[in-house]
Structures are given as C-alpha cells and as structure tokens.
Amino acid sequence: MRRLAIALGGLLLSAVALLSLGAGHAHAQGTPPTAEGPVDIVEVSGLVDDVVADDLTKAIARAETGGAQALIVQMNSKGAVVSPERMARLAEAIHDAKVPVALWVGPSGSRALGLTGQLMGAAPVTAMAPATRIGDFGTPLPVQGFELDLGNGGDQLRELTMGPTEARERNVLRPTISDQGVPVLRNMLLAIDGLEYQDKTLNTAEERPAADGKVEQVLVAEPRFYKLPLVPRLMHTVASPPVTYLLLTIGLSLLIFEMFTAGVGVAGVVGAGSVVLACYGLGVLPINGWALAALFVAFFGLAIDVQTGVPRAWTGIGLALYAGASWFLFRDGLRPSWITLLAGIGGVALAFIVGMPSMVRARFATPTIGREWMIGELGVTGVAIDPIGVAVVRGAQWRARTNRATPLAKGEPLRVVAIDGFTLEVEPEEGGAKDHRERRRSRAHGA
C-alpha cells in the first residue's frame, strides 16, 4: 500500500509537470509576421468555468490591443458551470469586439453544447468541422444590446442538436464558408481571408502558383497560439467531474490508510492534497449535497471495518452507499463516464475488502520470532474464527485459524496451540479438536 501511495504521488507530480510543459505563455511557431498583423488562436476545451471565461475575456482584449487581425476560438465543450449572466457578458464581449472573433467547433468529433454553444450566436464568424455537433442550448442567454443570431435553427437548438450540414442549411453558420465544412484549423485561417469586418478586410492568405502550374492559397498571417498558464490550467483540469470524483476518492482512501500507519507518510500528504483539489472542483461543479454527504458516510462505514482487519457488514453498507453517491454526485448531466465510475467503485472495493484489512492485520500483529511461549496461552475471539478470524491474546490482535470442526464465535475463550508466521493456530479452551491437542503434545514431547 505504501508503494501504491508513492506511485499515486508520482503520478500527481507527473501530471503537474506535463501541464507545465503544455502551458504556453506566448505563441507557438508560425510564419513570420506580416504587415497585416497576426491571427490569435485560443482553445476552449472542457466545461467553461470562471478560469476559461476570464481567459477568453483577456484573449479578446489582447487581440484588440496587440494588433491582431482576428481571434479564432477553437471550441470543444459540453457546457458551462458559470451563471447565465457571466456567459451573457462573455457573449457581449465577443459581439462588441473591435476585431472579428471566429468560433470554430473542431476538430472532428468536438461539441459545442449548452450555454457554451450559444456563443456562436454572438460571433460574426462561425464554422464547424465534419462530425461535430451543436445544440442543447436551453434558455437563451440574457444578452444586452443585441439578439443571438442562430439563423433558422434557434428553436431546434434549444433542445436538440445538429451537425454542420444542417447548421449551414439553417443559416446557423456565418458566413457560408464551405459546403464541405472546415476540417482543420488551417482551413479556418484560409476561410476568413478577405472577410470584411468594421471597414477593414482580413488578409490571412494569398494565391501563389504551385509546382504543377495551379494556383494555391498560402498563409501569410502569423498564427499565435495561446494557452492557459500553469496554475489556471491545473485548476481548470481539476474542475471536471471525472478528475474531481477520482481525486476525492483517492484522497479519502489514502487518509483512511494513513490513520492505521505509524506516523505521517507519503499517503497522508498525497491524500490531503487530493482532497484539497477535489474540494475546489466540488465548489465549481453542480453537485447534489445529499450525495456528497452519503459519500462521506460511506467512507466512515468502510473505516469502521478496516480497524477490525476483517470486512463485515459495514463494508457492504459502505460500498453500497459509495456506489449510489457516485452515480448521483453531479447534476445537470455531468455524471462521469462508465469507465471512471467502474475504476472508482472497483478500486475502493479492492482496497477495502483485500488491501487495507491485510495491512491492518500485519500492522497490529506482533512478530512471532522468540514467542514460542505463546503456545498454550489463553485468549478470546475478537472476530469469529471459522476457520479464519481474529484472536485477542494479552490485549493484542492476531490473525487466527482453527480447525473447521471447532469454529469459534466472537467472545469465546480459546487456547493457542501453534504459531504459523503471523497466524495463530487456536482451539476452544475446552473441547478442542483431537488433531490440535495431539500436535501440541507431540511438540512438547519433542522439546
């Protein structure tokens, strides 16, 4: 279990390191800048929370003051966890921007759903990659000074979704860039070339002769890619249902594990850090309070049986409560995937049925080397022994085994007849099995 705790800590540190490598502060490689100015590109992935909403607002201001021709928002989001009023202010910033803000739902397989998808009604340029979907918008955002322009598909998009072909037919996308859709980001840069916006024309590409004599479009505008800094990127990653759920599960499990170990080790540090990060996610995401309370009760019940060293009724109750709380923890359709739920429930079941009870029995057992004098000692049954259980001898708990013909109920007096590693072989104080008594006499005669 300590190795598991160390491995989890290593994974957490590795995740932070990878985020730091992927967190760009400026722009990625591109073509040399031109007189027409660069095109800023920012990615929206996952649920839109306060971190992403603030970053988009800053990206618009940066494009306006940084000499950019346009701002392209690459979108793949299933909704937002901020208020409709906050999303309305973001839509107004997109609509009133001094540079055109283009929203591209891509790459293939991406989604723009819920409040996030409604931003397409505020942008002057929108496009979709093949095999993408938009919709499930719900109640329109309370924007001020204009109306969201969703063509003829506004009513359908409130409750249903549509692909790029239907979106073009219903004039949801503006302008009609391509009948084939916009499959990759380069096509989006090429497509906005020549777009007129607020008395200026975007110059992002030019026609040049190719080797075969044909004419091809070549990008001349510098694409500048921006990403979230390290700490905001980490907070945005944490504020997703699967990550929050797994962090809370791992953190509580490691804290319970640490309660039955000597001193404070890696498990306690990693567990406390995981719970702190999970609390941030729980504060951002919509959750059912009763489900969260049931989850804590579930771990309390599991901890009761851990201290006995043997899974009993509380283990079953705790696992049942944990499974139910996992299913209903998040609201608004944000339930984690089946893979995430199975990983969480299966991992908890394995840890509290097999791993932690074995660790507790080994932790509180006394080494048997030089303790042959215990043979013949009297004790009582701590947990029913049939044929495996727990014996209490001189106030210490031991893993115990008895003959199947002489099971012992909890609280019955017993006698130690042999020691096998960390396991005591016991029999009833009176009426023990014949084979155990004979084994004891034979060992005494040999001595």
pLDDT tens track for 78-110? 999 999 999 999 999 999 999 999 999 989 999
Q: pLDDT band for position 177 (50/70/90)?
A: low
Q: pLDDT band for position 263 (50/70/90)?
A: low
* Structure tokens, 128: 């979709």
pLDDT tens track for 353-401? 888 777 766 665 555 445 666 788 899 998 899 888 889 888 888 888 9
**pLDDT value for 50:** 92
Please report the DSSP string for 298-358 in residue order.
HHHHHHHHHTTTS--HHHHHHHHHHHHHHHHSB-TT-PPPHHHHHHHHHHHHHIIIIIHHH
The residue whose two tokens read 């004599």 is: 213
The residue whose two tokens read 């839109």 is: 48
The domain defined by 24-229 carries CATH number 3.40.1010.10:
no
How many degrees, rounded to 5, is the angle at CA 196 between CA 193 and CA 200? 105
pLDDT tens track for 275-315? 999 999 999 999 999 999 999 999 998 888 777 667 788 88
**pLDDT value for 423:** 82
Q: Is the pLDDT of residue 228 over 60?
A: yes
Question: 247 — alpha (psi -120 to 50), left (phi > 0) or beta?
Answer: alpha
For 9-29, what is the HEC assignment? Answer: HHHHHHHHHHHHHHCCCCCCC
Identify residue 29 by its one-letter amino acid code: Q
* Structure tokens, 361: 């029995």
Q: What kind of fold does domain 372-446 have according to CATH?
A: OB fold (Dihydrolipoamide Acetyltransferase, E2P) (2.40.50)
pLDDT tens track for 49-82? 999 999 999 999 999 998 899 999 999 999 999 9
Q: What is the mean pLDDT of residues 242-263?
A: 85
